[in-house]
Structure 1
Amino acid sequence: MKEFSDGEPLRRDIQLFTALLGEVLREHSRKRVLVVVERLRDGFMALRDADDPELRAKLMKRIDGLDPQTLSEVVRAFNIYFGLVNTAEEIHGHLRRMDLISTGGPLWLGSFDQTVRELKADGVSPEKFQSLLEQLVYLPVFTAHPTEAKRRTILETFRRIFLVAQDLHRRRLNDEELEEKLQAILTQIQILWKTDEVRVHKPQVTDEVRQGLHFFRESLFDAVPEVYRNLERAVRRIYGPESRLRIPSFVRFGSWIGGDRDGNPSVKPETTELAVLMHHELVLEAYIERVAALRQMLSHTDTLCRPSPAFLDSLDADEDYWVDTMGESLRRYTNEPYRRKLAIVRHRLDANLARARARMAGDPADLPDGYGDARDFLADLYLIRDSLISHGDASAAAGELQDLIWLAETFGFHLVHLDVRQESTRHTAAVAELFARQAGAPYYRAFTEEQKCVVLGEAIAHPHPFVIDKATLTPETRETLEVFEVMARMRAEIGADVFGAYVISMTHSASHVMEVMLLARLAGLAGCHRGGWFCDIHIAPLFETIEDLERIDEVMAALFDDATYQSLLKASGNQQEVMLGYSDSCKDGGILASGWKLYEAQKKVIALADDHGVACRLFHGRGGTVGRGGGPTYEAILAQPVDTVHGQIKLTEQGEVLSYRYANPETARYELAMGISGLIKASRCLIEEPAEERNDYLGIMDELARLGEEAYRDLVCDTEGFLDYFYEVTPVDAIARLNIGSRPSHRKGSDRSLDSIRAIPWVFGWAQARHTIPAWYGVGLALERWRNNDVERLAKLQRMYQEWPFFRALLSNTQMSLFKAEMQIAREYVRLARDQERALAIYERIQAEHQRTLTQVLNVAGLHSLMEDTPDLQLSLVRRNFYLDPLNYIQLAVIERYRDEPVEEEREQWLDPLLRSINAIAAGMRNTG
């Protein structure tokens, strides 16, 4: 099997981009900037080769001598370099894939070609493969966590560089054309230099919604149909056209942007409503553009072909709409039936768009009716497709029309399924207040858990559970109720698919789910009427702490056994979504305990759902970093427990991951295909008996997780002054001031406890200071103690690494995190601590565990150096380190000046280079939080 490899073309492009950036700096920056950049880069590269205290002191003296404005420009230069390197790597990743495809041989691991060949070679019949395809749902969910630093305008500029640079390799250019292309790239780099990458103001939630929409407009509307088409090609090539395998549309997208209100006071009911309308507007615009192009293309004349009877009947039925509503002449397109039909389709979509824009503007104008919902739109597209096929024009039906059909099946009129999230205590407070306002009602908070579930079930089933005067309610309860009212209203206006799940963070008990169901009942989203039970809301409890993951079966069993909940679940389709939180569980107990508790939780909840005859979809709350569940999607899906991925997977795509995976359609196609391939392979349990898990491996992981959690908690929870160390030696105080997200960094502003700080700044801060503790701490101690210098035990761990995808993915991600940690640089950050003696003792424990983990992981993986078995990624990270090192030292110097300057006006001048250094280091490490 061919694998990707780095080569001379990529190095040449990086050198070209670096040289062009140097030209821009020479002509358009302050006089000293280019010299400083080159000397810092070269100096710290030399320190990588051999430590030299005298050179280090000289470099630090140079940094200390720079004024704030020059420092900001130096940091900006490094930041642009990282963006250019990322772009070059994306271009060459795409070009290498295209070269492999052009050879006609086997493709890379995780490609559709390799995946379908594997199925065919294993004897999977076309019928079984079709059955598997019909059960697939691949659902990435875009979130707006405060880790994405790139402004939309920056993304657009890098896209232009991508396209021009790609032409340097894909087209034969004469000298004049080559010069024009190089000038075009130089121009875009110059624009980057003169565009501020740091936002002037903290983004509003609507800004974050627009940022999310960028990826659909600029990339995914092109990428998604091509993904389906590539899978179709692979199936036809390997199974043969005679197999008649059909590719259903199974990709869907979700979003939390505008719906996630947990800890974000900026997300109001009206924010959620506006987000839904913005989604609706964008997808209608995309359809209108493509329908207009199809109308130009499908110029068939009815004297030369005969449309199907069903299509002609639909045209007859549309005649009144054509004449009366559209005001068109009967003679227009009289012999061009598809153009006439598409003109009608366009007019209806225009009407839907006008209505959406009027709603956004708060104008209840009387507007003509468009489509009732996306199903009606699709029905017209299916009619055109089937009619074209009926008179021998299947090839015309299989082109842009089929792309539009795939888009409409994927995105509907809603674009994304917007999840709504709120913390459980908000619902409990609202329900307690509603009970308290009823005459003679008992005190809800005094009930036991069992009593709560009983009274909640009775209230949900009651035709009029409460008498509510909203004016008398507290603002918090009134707002909580209004969220559900918005959900009901938007479902009625746009369609049933507008919302995905209602996610309850910090779910500790079954009553937390029943409370949400009661609030939904009050908005008419669930309940019981003469026709029986109905339920138009899907509730996803989120289990995110170690303790909650351990109790997941207890909570879910109480729900599945509740008669009221059973009835509502059946009424909503009998599918339960359960969300697993990677971030807080890792912050809570460390990477080993988190990974293993999540693994066990999945097995428990799937087995429980199977016993109750309920379909269960797991929702993985993964972050961009390993410390928050990140890592390659393909490997992550294959690492899930056997027989738990039943054709469907839902996972968050957070922060910087969005721009790295979805900014360019070429990369988006690859990322989506890799995730889908992982889903197909992990779902083979649907069509064949799954392999048994090895109990000996499970037992070893039990012990490793226990040892790892002990080591992590001993450091984080039981070490005096550890949280002081975190707040003092990382720039987390400045992260809170960085205008990259609307969500606060702490649940409670003045509370600096481990419970209060969110997992995102927790991981972000450790990464900036090059510790990356959440992603590896405790792994070395656990492996060392379990091995106990026993050669046979080492051999056992090595077999686990080779044979068990879960364990291999865990240690592979650990390697990447160890590689990104730099203990010598981390040591420099210790000087920021107030209590030097205590901070040094903490650092020495961290450094010792880093070395221990490095040794143990390499022994188990059978490697001589970190990431030896992933040379492309290894080289990519090495390439960045030469520029990250000076950035970290710049950040250190600026933090000291910012914190030590007693005069407010003087202190603020250092904030700009500090914030820029955070952005740049995040870009260089390619993950933040």
Structure 2
Amino acid sequence: MNAVSQDQTLERDVQLFTALLGEVLREHSRKRVLVIVERLRDGFMQLREQDDEEVRDKLMKRIRGLDAQTLSEVIRAFNIYFGLVNTAEELNAYLARMDLISAGERLWVGSFDQMARQFKADGVSPEHFQSLLEHLVYLPVFTAHPTEAKRRTILENFRRIFLVAQDLHRRKLNDEELEDRLQGILTQIQILWKTDEVRVHKPQVTDEVRQGLYFFRESLFDAVPQVYCFLEKAVRRAYGPDSGIKIPSFIQFGSWIGGDRDGNPFVKPETTELAVRMHGELVLELYLERVGKLLRMLSHASSLCQPAPAFLDSLDADEDYWVETMGQSLRRYVHEPYRRKLAMVEFRLNANLQRLRVRMAGRYEPDLPDGYDQARDFLTDLHLVRDSLHHHGDANAAVGPLNDLIRLAETFGFHLVHLDLRQESTRHTRAVSELFARQAGAPFYQAFDEEQRLLALAEAIAHPHPFVIEKGTLTAETRETLEVFEVMARMRAEVSEHAFGQYVISMTHAASHVMEVMLLARLAGLAGMGRQGWFCQIQIAPLFETIDDLNRIGEVMGRLFDDPTYAALLKASGNQQEVMLGYSDSCKDGGILASSWRLYEAQRRVIQLADDHGVSCRLFHGRGGTVGRGGGPTHEAILAQPTDTVHGQIKFTEQGEVLSYRYANPETARYELTLGISGLIKASRCLIEPPPADRKDYLGIMDELAQYGEEAYRRLTRETDGFLDYFYDCTPLDGIALLNLGSRPSHRKKADRSLASIRAIPWVFGWAQSRQTLPAWFGIGYAIERYRGNDLERLAKLQRMYQEWPYFRALLSNTQMSLFKAEMHIAKAYARLAENQHQAQVIYSQIEEEYQRTLTQVMNVAGLRGLMEETPELQRSLARRNVYLDPLNHIQVSLLERYRSEEEEAKREEWLDPLLRSINAIAAGMRNTG
């Protein structure tokens, strides 16, 4: 199917869904809602083609004349439209990929096929390719930042629409079947209309854990084995069936949901404990489903095949378990060996699940039957079945469901995800200071300088009994801090040694911040000096977030690597150091250019430092969904990492709305995982061949651009009178704070309206809602203009950088997307909300001027006539949403006026519901929130 017909098919689906939505509105909404929706859509579309103040005033008068309930319904109609468009686009993108595969054509950039053929064409030998594969770890980390507006119920509705619409495309239907399918979609839209998309209550952390688990249950357990299968096929096609290349299991998943306590007072030690058990419960349930299917499938009779000796030995060894623990007759499955083995596997998994549920209920029952001690024992049983099938010539029965289950067990173990814990550094410092202060004759820790602190901490960690602790005498905060580490030790023993990933320390400013956590871990028995020497069952990832912290990364990490105690503990834990880089706060702190470049430099410095100390280093990228928080296409983002810093491993956060866009449907999840993994493999060629040297001239230019960009950003955000008042007045931040999106507060300190107190997520969210998207581009135009001046040679140099350097190309490509999503004429409407109009208009003019400057300079450097010319599909996708986003933004402006001007609480509340719905709807339309 060519691009034109693909686009026509997509447009036809959008029109069909829109028509069906219209039918639902006609039958089930308040009078005139459909008419209002269509008139607002058409009116604002007309304004896009030609601005007309009279038409705009008429439209705003119509909006202001609507009551709160009618406005809510209009907004809901727009919101459902966005969900339907997203579904149509996702479905059509999937079908286009399937058509390409069916036609036997070369696949898209980022596919496994394209990657494997490229490696083969470049002369990479099977041995080198195998070596690279052995180093891979691909680790997305799911987080519960308050940016996901869709409820699980809504996701399930759209999944059903996706599947019915797929039938319309993929099957030849008669008239009656066609009518059934259309009625099916209409029914789902009708249910959506009758389902409240706004949460009635603010979600608890456990609700967020369940939301995260949804993606594993509904999508990833299907997608992950298929991704491995696709990779195997692509490598076989490129290298031939006899290449000997084996694909190891390298996909892992992490989570912060239930472990991220930085600024979230609702994440308690017991929350973390429950989250780990919920992970264990789901993974066991999903294994049991698949084992049950295998038990029914592998009905081989011992009279018709000869199982492998090792398999038969295992059956003999399990005979007592079969009779005594399971209470089974020796005759059951006596002639069906695989069914017998799988019945035992099923019983053991059920025993594990039963034990877990008893503990979740707060009970202790010592007489429960024994299950598996650890996931590797479960895998051993599966391997025995697989190898035995190969032994008697039934290898084809070992592929498919059995091989998929082995891949799942290798990926998810009994832990499902590695739960990272995060806490802010000052919490640990206060706890350690209190512990030292409670010891007779102990030094006054708080008075120590950094050198003295490191010595005191190292001495305490090595001591067999560093502190006498009476928990009852400690402050509640210190008790809770200690309990987190105790939960880690307990859950490692109960659920899995892999239950936890990293302990992330936000706002790491010094090496002592890491050593303080190591001391707290020592007190819980997670690290220290034993009879066999040092041991360490915790991995600590310092998080460098601000511009200053990124500049100081070499000094802090160098001091840690040089510390003999830390070096010994690191070696005992596997000699791998993870370092987390914060995209959001550094961008809020110094602007997109300074943030992006300081992150780039920090990666180069820390990897070089680790190499010099003989330490393996993995970078953990704290990316958000939006460009202002490090977001953007995953494939390009990985390829844009600094040369020789991706050594086969990549770890990054998947935040908020990104989860549903990438992982709600298994078809899309496969595609997204493929893009990321193929990017990782390409970026890791430095493991098997010398990487190209960095262009020093390009690095020098970026130094200069970053300096200019930071100047411009700080001049606006730190030195402009009334700038923060403008942000609070001219964005819907007051509504965002009340929206029941996530459990985390929007500010670190409630009464503090400073830039430091605002969390990065609502900061970006507010600018996106008001169509300014400022954090993603402000300062780039100024920096380029100042660097190039009127020098054509400098412009040519920047153009070469754009063509040759993946980092610079990704930076400006993401900038184009953010500029495209911004709408200065809409931002101007928000600016009218400010109390101090003179001040607001001055600030708005500065923003608009920089927007136009950035637009001009980016287009000149990229050599384009229009924004996103190089990504026409994405351009059309965003344009498709503008038809409904324009009226929504103007509705939101009107709602903010009413909500803020009402003095009576009851009347204010009346406008709050449509205001919150407008925030949800605009987030859905922009496909970005925070």
**In the alignment, what sits opposite 1:697?**
698
Q: Is the 8 A contact 1:427 1:512 kept in 2?
A: yes
CA deviations on 1:279-336 (whole Å, 9 max, x unpaired) are 0000000000000000000000000000000000000011111111111111110100
**In the alignment, what sits opposite 1:239?**
239
**In the alignment, what sits opposite 1:771?**
772
Q: Is the 8 A contact 1:2 1:108 kept in 2?
A: no
**In the alignment, what sits opposite 1:188?**
188
Looking at structure 2, the residues matched to 334 and 637 of structure 1 have their Cα atoms a distance apart, in angstroms, of: 53
Is it true that 1:643 corresponds to 2:647 in the alignment?
no
Looking at structure 2, the residues matched to 540 and 286 of structure 1 have their Cα atoms a distance apart, in angstroms, of: 31
**In the alignment, what sits opposite 2:271?**
271
Q: What does 1:131-280 align with in structure 2 at a 5 Å threshold?
A: 131-280=131-280
Looking at structure 2, the residues matched to 837 and 5 of structure 1 have their Cα atoms a distance apart, in angstroms, of: 51
2:816 aligned partner, one-letter code: Q
Q: Is the 8 A contact 1:4 1:872 kept in 2?
A: no
**In the alignment, what sits opposite 1:844?**
845
Residues 286, 152 of structure 1: alpha-carbon distance in 2 compared, 3 angstrom cutoff: same
Residues 764, 6 of structure 1: alpha-carbon distance in 2 compared, 3 angstrom cutoff: farther
CA deviations on 1:321-361 (whole Å, 9 max, x unpaired) are 11111111111101000000000000000000001111110
Is it true that 1:313 corresponds to 2:325 in the alignment?
no
Looking at structure 1, the residues matched to 172 and 661 of structure 2 have their Cα atoms a distance apart, in angstroms, of: 29
**In the alignment, what sits opposite 2:589?**
588
Looking at structure 1, the residues matched to 5 and 641 of structure 2 have their Cα atoms a distance apart, in angstroms, of: 28
**In the alignment, what sits opposite 2:10?**
10
Q: What does 1:541-556 align with in structure 2 at a 5 Å threshold?
A: 541-556=542-557
For the residue of structure 2 that corresponds to 1:359, the secondary structure is helix
For the residue of structure 2 that corresponds to 1:421, the secondary structure is strand
**In the alignment, what sits opposite 2:565?**
564
Q: Is the 8 A contact 1:283 1:414 kept in 2?
A: yes
Displacement, 1:2?
9.4
**In the alignment, what sits opposite 2:664?**
663
Looking at structure 2, the residues matched to 414 and 496 of structure 1 have their Cα atoms a distance apart, in angstroms, of: 8
CA deviations on 1:623-677 (whole Å, 9 max, x unpaired) are 0000000000000000000000000000000000000000000000000000000
Is it true that 1:918 corresponds to 2:919 in the alignment?
yes
**In the alignment, what sits opposite 2:46?**
46
For the residue of structure 1 that corresponds to 2:650, the secondary structure is strand
Segments of 5+ residues of structure 2 without an aligned counterpart are none
Q: Is the 8 A contact 1:2 1:107 kept in 2?
A: no
Displacement, 1:521?
0.1
**In the alignment, what sits opposite 2:363?**
363
**In the alignment, what sits opposite 1:927?**
928
Displacement, 1:428?
0.2
2:769 aligned partner, one-letter code: Q
**In the alignment, what sits opposite 1:877?**
878
Q: Is the 8 A contact 2:581 2:599 kept in 1?
A: yes
2:325 aligned partner, one-letter code: T
**In the alignment, what sits opposite 1:115?**
115
**In the alignment, what sits opposite 1:493?**
494
**In the alignment, what sits opposite 1:332?**
332
Q: Is the 8 A contact 2:6 2:96 kept in 1?
A: no
Looking at structure 1, the residues matched to 145 and 181 of structure 2 have their Cα atoms a distance apart, in angstroms, of: 37
CA deviations on 1:15-64 (whole Å, 9 max, x unpaired) are 00000000000000001110100000000000000011111111101100
Q: What does 1:428-467 align with in structure 2 at a 5 Å threshold?
A: 428-467=429-468
CA deviations on 1:393-417 (whole Å, 9 max, x unpaired) are 1111111100000000000000000
For the residue of structure 1 that corresponds to 2:832, the secondary structure is helix
Displacement, 1:3?
8.1
Q: Is the 8 A contact 2:501 2:539 kept in 1?
A: yes
Displacement, 1:206?
0.1
Q: Is the 8 A contact 2:351 2:371 kept in 1?
A: yes
For the residue of structure 2 that corresponds to 1:542, the secondary structure is strand
Is it true that 1:384 corresponds to 2:382 in the alignment?
no
Q: Is the 8 A contact 1:421 1:505 kept in 2?
A: yes
CA deviations on 1:784-807 (whole Å, 9 max, x unpaired) are 000011111100000000000000
Q: Is the 8 A contact 1:540 1:579 kept in 2?
A: yes
How many residues get paired?
929
Q: What does 1:295-310 align with in structure 2 at a 5 Å threshold?
A: 295-310=295-310
1:239 aligned partner, one-letter code: Y
CA deviations on 1:823-861 (whole Å, 9 max, x unpaired) are 000000011101000100000000000000000000000
Looking at structure 1, the residues matched to 3 and 101 of structure 2 have their Cα atoms a distance apart, in angstroms, of: 12
1:376 aligned partner, one-letter code: D
TM-score (norm 2): 0.99
Q: What does 1:426-825 align with in structure 2 at a 5 Å threshold?
A: 426-825=427-826
**In the alignment, what sits opposite 1:96?**
96
Looking at structure 2, the residues matched to 17 and 168 of structure 1 have their Cα atoms a distance apart, in angstroms, of: 13
Looking at structure 2, the residues matched to 279 and 358 of structure 1 have their Cα atoms a distance apart, in angstroms, of: 15
1:10 aligned partner, one-letter code: L
Q: Is the 8 A contact 1:3 1:108 kept in 2?
A: no
Looking at structure 1, the residues matched to 500 and 2 of structure 2 have their Cα atoms a distance apart, in angstroms, of: 42
Displacement, 1:751?
0.4
CA deviations on 1:499-551 (whole Å, 9 max, x unpaired) are 00000000000000000000000000000011100000000000000000000
2:643 aligned partner, one-letter code: V
Q: Is the 8 A contact 1:82 1:924 kept in 2?
A: yes
CA deviations on 1:687-744 (whole Å, 9 max, x unpaired) are 0010011000000000000000000000001101100000010000110100010000
Looking at structure 2, the residues matched to 352 and 93 of structure 1 have their Cα atoms a distance apart, in angstroms, of: 41
Looking at structure 2, the residues matched to 5 and 81 of structure 1 have their Cα atoms a distance apart, in angstroms, of: 23
Q: Is the 8 A contact 1:5 1:872 kept in 2?
A: no
Q: Is the 8 A contact 1:4 1:108 kept in 2?
A: no
For the residue of structure 2 that corresponds to 1:834, the secondary structure is coil
Looking at structure 1, the residues matched to 555 and 497 of structure 2 have their Cα atoms a distance apart, in angstroms, of: 31
2:441 aligned partner, one-letter code: G
Looking at structure 2, the residues matched to 654 and 47 of structure 1 have their Cα atoms a distance apart, in angstroms, of: 35
Displacement, 1:4?
9.9
Looking at structure 1, the residues matched to 35 and 186 of structure 2 have their Cα atoms a distance apart, in angstroms, of: 19
2:795 aligned partner, one-letter code: L
Q: Is the 8 A contact 2:280 2:415 kept in 1?
A: yes
Q: Is the 8 A contact 1:768 1:918 kept in 2?
A: yes
2:95 aligned partner, one-letter code: L
CA deviations on 1:152-190 (whole Å, 9 max, x unpaired) are 000000000000001100111111100000000000000
TM-score (norm 1): 1.00
Q: Is the 8 A contact 1:258 1:275 kept in 2?
A: yes
Displacement, 1:369?
1.1
Displacement, 1:5?
8.3
The RMSD of aligned alpha carbons is: 0.9
What is the identity percentage for the equivalent residue pairs of Structure 1 and Structure 2?
78
CA deviations on 1:353-398 (whole Å, 9 max, x unpaired) are 0011111100112311100010000000000000000000111111
Residues 4, 415 of structure 1: alpha-carbon distance in 2 compared, 3 angstrom cutoff: farther
Q: Is the 8 A contact 2:202 2:740 kept in 1?
A: yes
Looking at structure 2, the residues matched to 565 and 713 of structure 1 have their Cα atoms a distance apart, in angstroms, of: 37
Looking at structure 2, the residues matched to 758 and 60 of structure 1 have their Cα atoms a distance apart, in angstroms, of: 32
Q: Is the 8 A contact 2:591 2:709 kept in 1?
A: yes
CA deviations on 1:71-100 (whole Å, 9 max, x unpaired) are 000000000000000000000010000011
2:668 aligned partner, one-letter code: T
Looking at structure 2, the residues matched to 624 and 117 of structure 1 have their Cα atoms a distance apart, in angstroms, of: 31
Q: Is the 8 A contact 1:2 1:106 kept in 2?
A: no
For the residue of structure 2 that corresponds to 1:555, the secondary structure is helix
Q: Is the 8 A contact 1:146 1:741 kept in 2?
A: yes
Q: Is the 8 A contact 2:261 2:423 kept in 1?
A: yes
Looking at structure 2, the residues matched to 368 and 610 of structure 1 have their Cα atoms a distance apart, in angstroms, of: 49
Displacement, 1:878?
0.3
Q: Is the 8 A contact 1:254 1:419 kept in 2?
A: yes
Q: Is the 8 A contact 1:453 1:511 kept in 2?
A: yes
